[in-house]
Every structure is written in C-alpha cells, then in structure tokens.
C-alpha cells in the first residue's frame, strides 16, 4: 500500500506508541491523520506536529455510539491503527482481578472489535486499505505478572487472524504487531531493556507498505519468536519464573 495517498486514523494518539504513529505517519508523507483520544486537550502537542494535516477527534474505543459518530466524520480513512490499550497489574488471583480483566478485555479486545466492525465498510469503499492492531509478545505466551492483560492480547491476536481471513475478500490487509517492552507509561517499572515507541510505529508502517501481516519490531520480539519456535514450553517457564517467589 502506498502511504503517500493514505488517510490514517489512530486510536490513543495522545501519548506513547500512538503519538509515535502520528509522527511516523507524518514522516511517511500521508495525506491526512485523524488523531483520536479520550481527551481532546491531550492532543494539543500531537496536532502541533503538523497542524495542516492532523485532525484531533474525541474517541473512547469502549463507546460504540461514539465510534459510529466518528466514522461518519471520517469516510476517507484507508488505514486504521488500533493502538489504544490498557494494562492492569496483578495476577488472576489478585483482589480486584475480575475488574481488571473486564477493563482490559473491554478496551483491548472489544474496543478493537467495535473499531474494525465499524470501519471495515469504510475501508472497503476506499479500495481495501489496511488495519494495524497492536498486539504483544504476551499475545502468544501468558506473562503471569500481567496475567489478564496477556489473555486480552491473546484474544486480540485471535481477532486479528479471524478479521484478516474475513476481510481478505475486500482487499484489506490486517497487520498484527508484536512488540516486546517499549519505553512508554505502560511499561514504567518493567525492569527490562525497552525500545523507543517510534521504532514500533516505523516497523508497522513499513509492513503496511510491503504487505507483511506479522511484525516483530524489536530485538526482544525477534528473539522471543525464535525461542518460541524452538521450545515453546521453555518460554512459558521463563515467563512463569518472572513471578515473585
């Protein structure tokens, strides 16, 4: 897909990887960027990147009515970037683990499902286009310190595969991105090497240009996928070993 002619919509564009996507899209020369976030004021710095082409819009991905309204204002989108996500801490047996799991599922899984259901017809009208979903290495193997986050990202991985199959008929490329730790607020306190968010955004956009479906955007992700092909059980045990004893 040619990014020069693209019109992109990014969820959770106000910070972290979402903001980096806006920067990378601008660098790639796209025509227009709908930068969406729950709080319009939080988008001021993002719009300042390129005020002539970045349009701020309020959007909470857990609100299907709001998604429908936004889709009416953005009929030219041909690149949908489902970046918004949340992570709660604690395992399945923590005191508030049910609330945490519901919050993560509502945002990471159902939020993305609402988005792709609403925007698939728009992408179809715009020659198919592409969808980028922000998954994680935790989509593949549960990381017990983020237990229900991992479950929500595993569900999102399955959604990505199923949507890819269904939307192939209309020519929509569905890209899954599997980062390791990235240097954003979400991974604050994670004692691992982290890559800058722009690296994730640039790798994902390159995949869209090349027509690649799966993106391993950083060294941790690449090593993880090499290890998982060799010995999946060893990787599961390695992640289990991250729990405090």
Ligand X SMILES: NC(=O)c1ccc[n+]([C@@H]2O[C@H](COP(=O)([O-])OP(=O)(O)OC[C@H]3O[C@@H](n4cnc5c(N)ncnc54)[C@H](OP(=O)(O)O)[C@@H]3O)[C@@H](O)[C@H]2O)c1
Instruction: Give catalytic status of residue 34 as yes or no.
Output: no
Which is closer to ligand X, CB of 85 or CB of 129? 85
Nearest distance, CB of residue 136 and ligand X, angstroms: 4
- Those residues whose C-beta lies under 8 Å from the C-beta of residue 218, and which sit 6 or more positions away, are 179, 180, 182, 195, 199, 200, 203
Contacts with ligand X, residue ranges (CB under 6 A): 11-12, 14-18, 37-39, 42, 60-62, 83-86, 107, 111, 134, 136, 179, 181-182, 184-187
Task: Kindly name the residue from 109, 114, 149, 216 that is annotated as catalytic.
Answer: 149
Which is closer to ligand X, CB of 89 or CB of 168? 89
173-177 β-sheet, strand order: 54-58, 32-37, 7-10, 79-82, 130-134, 173-177, 214-215
Measure CA of the first residue to CA of the last residue in the chain; give whole Å: 48
- The span from the CA of 222 to the CA of 179, in Å, is 9
Q: Are 192 and 238 in contact (CB under 8 A)?
A: no
Q: How would you class 212 by CB atoms within 10 Å of its CB: exposed for 0-12, middle for 13-18, buried for 19 or more?
A: middle
Place of tokens 């729990």: 243
Alpha-carbon torsion angle 69, 72, 73, 79, nearest 10: 110
Q: Are 57 and 108 in contact (CB under 8 A)?
A: no
Nearest distance, CB of residue 13 and ligand X, angstroms: 7
Nearest distance, CB of residue 133 and ligand X, angstroms: 8
Which is closer to ligand X, CB of 140 or CB of 182? 182
Which is closer to ligand X, CB of 12 or CB of 171? 12
Nearest distance, CB of residue 192 and ligand X, angstroms: 9
Nearest distance, CB of residue 217 and ligand X, angstroms: 9
Which is closer to ligand X, CB of 148 or CB of 184? 184
- The span from the CA of 189 to the CA of 54, in Å, is 32
Q: Which residues are catalytic?
A: 149
């Amino acid at each position: 897909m040619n990014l020069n002619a693209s019109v992109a919509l990014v969820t959770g564009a106000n910070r972290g990887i979402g903001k980096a996507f806006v920067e990378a899209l601008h660098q790639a020369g796209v025509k227009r960027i709908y930068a969406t976030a729950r709080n319009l004021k939080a988008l001021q710095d993002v719009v300042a990147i390129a005020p002539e082409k970045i349009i701020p819009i309020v959007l909470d991905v857990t609100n299907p009515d709001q998604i429908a309204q936004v889709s009416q204002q953005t009929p030219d989108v041909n690149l949908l970037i489902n970046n918004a996500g949340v992570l709660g801490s604690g395992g399945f047996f923590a005191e508030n683990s049910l609330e945490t799991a519901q919050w993560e599922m509502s945002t990471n899984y159902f939020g993305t499902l609402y988005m792709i259901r609403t925007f698939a017809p728009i992408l179809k009208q715009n020659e198919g286009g592409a969808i980028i979903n922000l998954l994680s290495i935790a989509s593949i193997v549960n990381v017990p310190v983020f237990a229900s986050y991992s479950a929500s990202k595993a569900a999102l991985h399955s959604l990505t595969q199923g949507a890819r199959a269904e939307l192939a008929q209309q020519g929509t490329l569905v890209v899954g991105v599997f980062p390791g730790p990235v240097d954003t607020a979400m991974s604050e306190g994670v004692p691992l090497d982290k890559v800058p968010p722009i690296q994730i955004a640039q790798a994902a956009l390159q995949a869209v240009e090349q027509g690649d479906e799966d993106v391993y955007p950083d060294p941790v992700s690449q090593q993880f996928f090499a290890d998982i092909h060799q010995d999946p059980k060893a990787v599961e045990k390695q992640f289990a070993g991250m729990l405090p004893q």
